[in-house]
């Protein structure tokens, strides 16, 4: 796609470029009901191995706007005024790969009981917030890698789907038999929940005081599931949007598949199919002309060959973030006005900082969403002065319209990150 994109909906997929007008059948429910609050969206692009930090972070002595764009982030140079880079933010614990599923919550699963909302991830918190406004409260996507980022407030990990499953869920109408089956499943689930609730209530008077709280937490889980069922049921009979591009074919490599997935993400936002998306990308032997595995490369030991491989893999991931920015800048926002990019927060990063299993100084880049961008923000490095990465997550949630003052281990919103009201 050319760098110069017009303001119409222009996507390039499966080798075919198509200019897409805003179809009446695509119009989101929220638009038909009349606009009230600004509708915000969120996309997280991630991997499971961190980054090669020497090529990712700017010089720590270059805070502010006058910084040299690092090698891995070169694809973002043209969007320099629309992105913010962060340094020295993390979740404050060690644990290597255990940091990956903590990225969007800041809470380790084994410590979830210490927090009112458990280890719910940012995307699932947004899914609860948007509720039935979209067909899919969230989308959890994976390209050549499992997506380990998304957790409900009850600690259940949301499974990921690939690009074809995502495309078909968005655009393929369910058969009559499948709709009947889904309706019957909702009915069975409601019946089961009724029985469970009645049985739990009968136990209430027999429990000691310390167990009453556990029972109330159990009721919260039941109510959450009931709410999800109630939100999903009306969508059974609502038509899906028409597919604006052909179904993507499985590619032979990460490059083709991740590019197609980015285009599907853009479609999901423009059709208002969802407002919360996470996507994790990996690597397969032979991609980019490289021989080896992503995990092996990440344990590079500063050797030239694996370091060069990491730069190529991670540089491509960042170029796909840049591509998504291109697509969203080119698409008018049918609900809010302006562009989709204006009202979409795009976060690139990982819960593990490097392949050497460090979880200190997480790689984090934020774009879009109406923030005041253009800076490299450097936070204190000394222990005792470090700023929780959860403060950034809280800021994203507040920017998205949630009136909350705490998320996981956050201490406040992120100092220095501002956005337009």
**Which stretch, 160-174, 238-252, 320-334, has highest mean pLDDT?**
320-334
**In the prediction, which pLDDT does 199 show?**
62
**In the prediction, which pLDDT does 4 show?**
34
Model pLDDT for residues 215-267, shown as the tens digit of each residue: 566 556 656 655 555 565 564 567 888 888 889 887 778 899 999 999 999 99
Least confident among 8-12, 27-31, 303-307: 8-12
Which is more confident, 238 or 99? 99
Least confident among 25-29, 158-162, 241-245: 25-29
Model pLDDT for residues 395-409, shown as the tens digit of each residue: 999 999 999 999 999
Least confident among 18-27, 347-356, 403-412: 18-27
Interatomic CA distance for residues 40 and 344, integer angstroms: 6
**In the prediction, which pLDDT does 240 show?**
85
* Average of per-residue pLDDT across 53-78: 97
Number of C-alpha atoms within 13 angstroms, CB side, residue 288? 21
Which is more confident, 126 or 383? 126
**In the prediction, which pLDDT does 348 show?**
98
**In the prediction, which pLDDT does 88 show?**
97
Which is more confident, 25 or 87? 87
* pLDDT above 50 (res 286): yes
Q: What integer best gives the mean pLDDT of the chain?
A: 83
Interatomic CA distance for residues 93 and 21, integer angstroms: 48
Q: What are phi and psi of 157, to 5 degrees?
A: -80, 125
In the chain, where are the structural domains located? 9-172+245-399, 174-238
Assigned token pair, 317 = 């991931």
**Which stretch, 285-289, 296-300, 308-312, has highest mean pLDDT?**
308-312
**In the prediction, which pLDDT does 93 show?**
83
* pLDDT above 60 (res 277): yes
- Kindly report the CATH class assigned to 9-172+245-399: alpha beta
3-state SS, one letter per residue, for the chain: CCCCCCCCEEEEECCEEEEECCCHHHCCHHHHCCCCCCCCEEEEEECCCCCCHHHCCCCCCCCECCCCCCHHHHHHHHHHHHEEEEECEECCCCCHHHHHHHCCCCCCHHHHHHCCCCCCCHHHHHHHHHHHHCCCCCEEEEECCCCCCCECCCCCECCCECHHHHHHHHHCCCCHHHHHHHHHHHHHHHHHHHHHHHHHHHHHCCCCHHHHHHHHHHHHHHHHHHHHHHHHHHHHHCCCCCCCCCCCCCCCCHHHHHHHHHHHHHHHHHCCCCCEEEEEECCCCCHHHCCCCHHHHHCCCCCHHHHHHHHHHHHHHHHHHHHHHHHHHCCECCCCCCECHHHEEEEEECCCCCCCCCCCCCCEEEEECCECCCCEEECCCCCCCCEECHHHHHHHHHHCCCCCCCCCCCCCCCCCCCECC
Model pLDDT for residues 170-181, shown as the tens digit of each residue: 887 766 666 556
Rounded percentage of the chain residues whose pLDDT exceeds 90: 56
Binned at pLDDT 50, 70 and 90, residue 94 comes out as confident
Least confident among 94-108, 189-203, 265-279: 189-203
* pLDDT above 60 (res 10): no
Least confident among 195-199, 372-376, 416-420: 195-199
Model pLDDT for residues 39-49, shown as the tens digit of each residue: 999 999 999 99
**In the prediction, which pLDDT does 219 show?**
59
Which is more confident, 115 or 232? 115
* pLDDT above 70 (res 29): no
Query: In Å, what is the CA distance from 244 to each residue of 20, 26, 30, 279, 337?
Result: 7, 10, 21, 21, 21
Assigned token pair, 241 = 């949007």
């Amino acid at each position: 796609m050319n760098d110069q994109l017009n303001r119409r909906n222009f996507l390039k997929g499966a080798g075919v470029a198509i200019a897409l007008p805003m179809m009446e059948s695509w119009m989101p429910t929220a638009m038909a009901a009349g606009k009230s609050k600004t509708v915000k969206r969120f996309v997280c692009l991630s991997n499971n191995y961190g980054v090669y930090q020497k090529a990712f972070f700017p010089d720590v002595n270059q805070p502010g706007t006058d910084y040299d764009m690092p090698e891995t982030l070169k694809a973002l140079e043209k969007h320099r005024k629309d992105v913010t880079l962060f340094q020295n933010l993390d979740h404050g614990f060690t644990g290597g790969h255990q940091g990956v599923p903590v990225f969007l919550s800041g809470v380790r699963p084994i410590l979830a009981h210490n927090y009112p909302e458990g280890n719910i991830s940012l995307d699932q918190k947004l899914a609860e917030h948007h509720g039935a406004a979209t067909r899919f409260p969230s989308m959890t996507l994976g390209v050549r890698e499992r997506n380990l980022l998304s957790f409900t407030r009850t600690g259940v990990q949301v499974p990921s789907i690939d690009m074809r499953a995502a495309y078909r869920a968005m655009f393929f109408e369910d058969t009559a038999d499948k709709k009947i089956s889904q309706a019957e499943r909702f009915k069975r689930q409601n019946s089961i929940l009724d029985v469970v609730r009645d049985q739990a209530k009968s136990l209430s008077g027999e429990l000691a005081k310390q167990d009453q709280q556990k029972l109330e937490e159990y009721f919260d889980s039941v109510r959450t599931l009931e709410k999800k069922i109630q939100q999903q049921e009306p969508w059974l009979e609502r038509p899906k949007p028409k597919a604006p591009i052909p179904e993507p074919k499985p590619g032979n490599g990460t490059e083709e598949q991740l590019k197609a997935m980015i285009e599907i993400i853009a479609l999901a936002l423009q059709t208002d199919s969802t407002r919360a998306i996470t996507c994790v990308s990996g690597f397969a032997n032979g991609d980019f002309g490289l021989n080896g595995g992503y995990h092996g490369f990440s344990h590079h030991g500063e050797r030239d060959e694996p370091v060069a491989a990491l730069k190529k893999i991670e540089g491509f991931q960042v170029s796909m973030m840049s591509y998504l920015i291109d697509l969203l800048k080119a698409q008018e926002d049918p609900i809010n006005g302006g562009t989709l990019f204006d009202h979409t927060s795009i976060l690139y990063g990982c819960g593990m900082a490097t392949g050497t299993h460090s979880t200190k100084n997480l790689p984090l880049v934020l774009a879009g969403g109406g923030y005041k961008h253009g800076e490299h923000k450097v936070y204190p490095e000394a222990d005792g002065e470090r700023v929780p990465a959860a403060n950034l997550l809280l800021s994203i949630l507040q920017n998205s319209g949630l009136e909350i003052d705490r998320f996981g281990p956050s201490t406040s919103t992120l100092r220095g990150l501002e956005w337009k009201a």
